[in-house]
Amino acid sequence: MFDTTIWGRTTTEFELEEPDPKFDSEFSPLYHDGAAALNIGIKMWDLEIERREDNLKSTYATDDDEHIANGWRIAKGAYEYLTKTIGLEPKEVFRRWPA
């Protein structure tokens, strides 16, 4: 158990919640579920890859669209390798190393 104190209460008394990109501008390990935050990022990767691929099909495509889409694909591939092949489970990592 961990005992980080916030406003006189320990963090064990708080339920960690999924960050909401509409209201939260950054990740806070004291309040946010880290695995849920990573899943938000993965969804954003997918959206950005799709958007860049759509741009590549248009007459407005730039070299940057391809480079950015490739960068997102590389990052997503590394994350999938880490979680699916190596077997790292982000939820467990955040559970074991709380703020």
pLDDT attached to residue 1: 44
- Distance in angstroms (rounded) separating the CA atoms of residues 49 and 26: 22
Query: Does 47 map to a domain?
Result: yes
Query: Does 77 map to a domain?
Result: yes
> Structural domain of residue 56, as residue ranges?
33-99
Residue scoring higher pLDDT (21 or 1): 21
Query: Does 51 map to a domain?
Result: yes
| pLDDT tens figures, 43-72 | 988 998 888 888 888 877 787 888 888 888
Query: Does 93 map to a domain?
Result: yes
pLDDT attached to residue 63: 79
Whole-model pTM: value is: 0.72
Place of tokens 């979680």: 83
Domain count, the chain: 1
- Distance in angstroms (rounded) separating the CA atoms of residues 65 and 58: 11
DSSP for residue 12: G
Query: Does 23 map to a domain?
Result: no
Residue scoring higher pLDDT (80 or 5): 80
Q: For residue 47, which phi and psi values (nearest 5 degrees)? A: -65, -40
pLDDT attached to residue 25: 92
Query: Does 18 map to a domain?
Result: no
Pairing, β 9-10 against β 5-6: antiparallel
